[in-house]
Copies of this chain bind each other. A is one copy, B any other.
């Protein structure tokens, strides 16, 4: 602090915010979690989950804290996306905003939470007008999600720990916005040998039932160490 005074005190300081984009999957479509903003300006407008960085926390900590405060969510997959610094992006003052992108299975955000915190899922194809540059952030996050999903095993963050192959396929179809061949999809995903088949079936979506699988991080790591990459 003494040092800071000495060296940097001539330079201007800025408000630094964090905005969290939360993507979800409900078995059918990709969703975005939004809420109505709790403070001015834009109080009551649709918004991502944003807040200000504090003195005693890192950006990552801030992202987790803010998301938790505004949604109740904790321990979820999150990665830094991009930082937005246009001069007039916020009409109430100069704010540098660091956007984070989070992924959860939509069912993890229950109706109860939703009522308590007032956050709701919207279909990614019907995202309302969000405040400031938040729509831009969502677009960027979505592009990144699409790119990442085909070369890294992040799709599993959007599914429950146990899932069926038809569910997994539906997820990738939702992400890539196309249809996939059932047999080719199974062949490909199973040939990577990163899933373990459980002795249980999910009986909710068909009479026959579909076997449940888990993504095995250890197997994945082994595959990577062997020089192979995840690809779908």
A residues contacting B by CB (< 8 A) are 1, 3-4, 6-8, 11-16, 39-41, 52-60, 62, 80, 82-87, 91-96, 98
Q: Which 7 residue pairs spanning A and B have beta carbons closest together?
A: A4-B93, A59-B85, A13-B13, A11-B52, A3-B92, A83-B83, A7-B92
A86/B98 in contact, CB under 8 A = no
A12/B92 in contact, CB under 8 A = no
Residue of B nearest to A51 (CB): B11
A12 and B96 in contact, given A41-B7, A80-B83 (Cβ under 8 angstroms)? no
Q: What are 5 pairs between A and B in contact, CB < 8 Å? A: A4-B92, A8-B95, A13-B16, A14-B14, A59-B85
B85/A98 in contact, CB under 8 A = yes
Give Cα A11 to B14, complex, Å.
10
Cβ 8 A contact of A54, one of B12, B39, B57, B62: B12
Give Cα A12 to B91, complex, Å.
18
Give Cα A171 to B40, complex, Å.
51
Which B residues touch A56, using CB under 8 A?
Answer: 87
A41 and B3 in contact, given A12-B54, A16-B14 (Cβ under 8 angstroms)? yes
Which B residues touch A54, using CB under 8 A?
Answer: 12
Residue of B nearest to A62 (CB): B85
Give Cα A173 to B82, complex, Å.
29
B55/A83 in contact, CB under 8 A = no
Cβ 8 A contact of A55, one of B3, B12, B98: B12
Residue of B nearest to A57 (CB): B87
Which B residues touch A91, using CB under 8 A?
Answer: 3
Which B residues touch A40, using CB under 8 A?
Answer: 6-7
Give Cα A59 to B6, complex, Å.
24
A96/B96 in contact, CB under 8 A = yes
A93/B8 in contact, CB under 8 A = yes
